[in-house]
Amino acid sequence: MEKLIITAAICGAEVMKEHNPAVPYTVEECVREAKSAYDAGASLIHLHVRHDDGTPTQDRDRFEKVIRAIEAACPDVIIQPSTGGAVGMTNDERLQPIELMPEMATLDCGTLNFGGDEIFINTENTIKYFGKRMIELGIKPELEVFDKSMIDMALRLHKKGFIETPMHFDFVMGVNGGISGTLRDFVFMRGSIPEDATYTVAGMGRFEMQLAVAAIIDGGHVRVGFEDNVYLSRGVLAKSNGELVEKVARLAKEFGREIANPAEAREILGLKPR
Ligand code: KMH
Ligand code: ZN
């Protein structure tokens, strides 16, 4: 079986220090959290950035500062900026970090109710616009799919030339408004992607570790981190993103799955050398 890529989604745009005091806002805190994850076996960092007061931003300069600082602390790690940003941002605001020419970036494949009264908007034209820019810049998209319909959208837009193969999906499961985090739905999602595609799974909250185990056994890849879940186990806050990565690495070991280093992750994902 392929080695396991562990992604750490260290920050997100919604989770705050009120949820877990270790949620990073400043550049230094982002580096601390990325390094804890990297040291525990993460080869990929999914990155949102904040102002020092915790407000989410897609500002190019803020991304540049955080990315360069993480690169200095975590040699060779793959950094994947978010182009989802936070609900309510414009397309061009969201796209700013791809000007920094990262190897990867997220590409959200549909609109959904997002945790109650908010709507995370990704119309077909938005997805086409983001997909085309990423092809032009040679950036591999991680296709964020919050429901099965978003896989279908990605496949349609591949046929129209907006997304290249082999595709790499992130099944984001358990968001209030998206597909549930049950095993039944996981099997449905992973059975709906092309043979040559790769996937990682990001389970929200209590689904995080259950779905991690499912992907470890299935030959998929795993995303954990404060963006999706702040607990190490029921009622116990994780002290760092590294603790969550460490738990996945431990589980993988139990099931005989080796962990990919960044070079191996690049190979598996077919990333273009920069
Ligand atoms: N913060 C969510 C509204 C992504 O990173 O591409 C969108 C999100 C997806 O987190
Ligand atoms: Zn994100």
Domain boundaries, the chain: 6-269
Q: Is the pLDDT of residue 273 over 90?
A: no
Give the model confidence (pLDDT) of 61-90 as tens digits: 999 999 999 999 999 999 999 999 999 999
Which ligand 1 atom minimizes the distance to the CA of 48?
5
User: Is residue 202 in contact with ligand 1, taking CB distance under 6 Å?
Assistant: no
Q: Which ligand is nearest to the CA of 105?
A: 1
49, 59 Cβ separation under 8 angstroms? yes
In this predicted structure, the answer to whether residue 21 has a pLDDT above a threshold of 90 is yes
**Token pair belonging to 37:** 């994850």
As given in the structure block, the two tokens for residue 214 are 């499912």
Q: Which CATH superfamily, name and number, covers 6-269?
A: Aldolase class I (3.20.20.70)
Q: Is the CB of residue 208 less than 8 Å from the CB of residue 228?
A: yes
Report, in angstroms and rounded to the nearest whole number, the Rg of the chain calculated over CA atoms: 17
Q: How remote is the CA of residue 82 from the centroid of ligand 2, in Å?
A: 5
Residue 16, ligand 1, Cβ within 6 A: no
Q: Find the 175 Cα to ligand 1 centroid distance in Å.
A: 11
The secondary structure element, H or E, covering residue 30 is helix 27-39
Q: Assess whether pLDDT exceeds 80 at residue 30.
A: yes
pLDDT at 272: 76
Ligand 1, atom nearest to 13 Cα? 1
Place of tokens 């999706």: 228
Mean per-residue pLDDT, 245-266: 98
User: What is d(CA 263, CA 267) in angstroms, rounded to the nearest whole number?
Assistant: 6
Ion ligand 2: protein residues whose beta carbon lies under 5 Å = 82
Q: How far is the CA of 255 from the centre of ligand 1 (A)?
A: 30
| Chain segment 209-230, per-residue pLDDT in tens | 999 999 999 999 999 999 999 9
What is the rounded (10 degree) CA torsion for 134, 228, 259, 182? -100
Determine the average pLDDT of the residues in 104-110. 99
Atom of ligand 1 nearest to the CA of 107: 6
Type of residue at 190: R
Mean pLDDT along residues 186-214:
98
Q: What pTM does this model have? A: 0.98
- Check pLDDT > 80 for residue 188: yes
Structure confidence at residue 274 (pLDDT): 66
**Residue 201 clears pLDDT 80, i.e. is over it:** yes
Ligand 1 lined by 120 (C-beta under 6 Å) = yes
